[in-house]
Amino acid sequence: MKTNINNLGSLIKIANTLIEKELNLRMNKLFAEYNLTGPQVTLLIYLYEAQKRPVSQKEVETVFFLSHPTTRSIVKRLTSKKLIISNPSDKDRRQMILQLSKEGNKFISTNITTIYQNMDQINQKITHNLTESNQGQLIANLQQIINNFQD
């Protein structure tokens, strides 16, 4: 089956939008009191998993391929919800170091299993009707697309 290459970017964008909507819907339903989005929960999990070391805002931008304003907006929202703390680095005052607040740590610790279950369900939905081989190829293809834009 021949694919119209002009539609490729559109298809990737549509898939991303649908996945993000599903993640946002699930996170908002689970944690309505915090009104959290998928990217906010993703950052909280990243900070939770990296608790033993400092995480800079710049690192978050790099790891998640986010612009500075987007990252700053997510950080501001999570700070206002008292889920993270943002402080200047001792080594470079221009760099902000992010960490979970006590409330953020308690929130993630309490809900990490539920969050992972929901993310797994979304991954199952993404790969529904794909063979294991096709799933592996999809991952390889997506990684190659990412690599193509890092050159």
Does residue 20 lie in a domain region? Answer: yes
pLDDT at 91 (0 to 100)? 87
Identify the CATH number of the domain in which residue 68 sits: 1.10.10.10
**pLDDT tens, position by position, 70-100:** 999 999 999 999 999 999 988 888 899 999 9
Q: Which amino acid is at 77?
A: R
Contacts of 110 (CB under 8 A, 6+ apart): none
| CA pair distance 91, 104, nearest whole angstrom | 25
Does residue 120 lie in a domain region? Answer: no
Does residue 148 lie in a domain region? Answer: no
Does residue 22 lie in a domain region? Answer: yes
pTM of the model: 0.83
Q: CB–CB of 19/126 below 8 Å?
A: yes
Could you list the residue range(s) of the whole structural domain that residue 17 is in? 5-114
Instruction: Provide the number of structural domains found in the chain.
Output: 1
E strand spans, the chain: 55-56, 84-88, 96-100
Q: What is the mean pLDDT of the chain?
A: 93
Does residue 88 lie in a domain region? Answer: yes
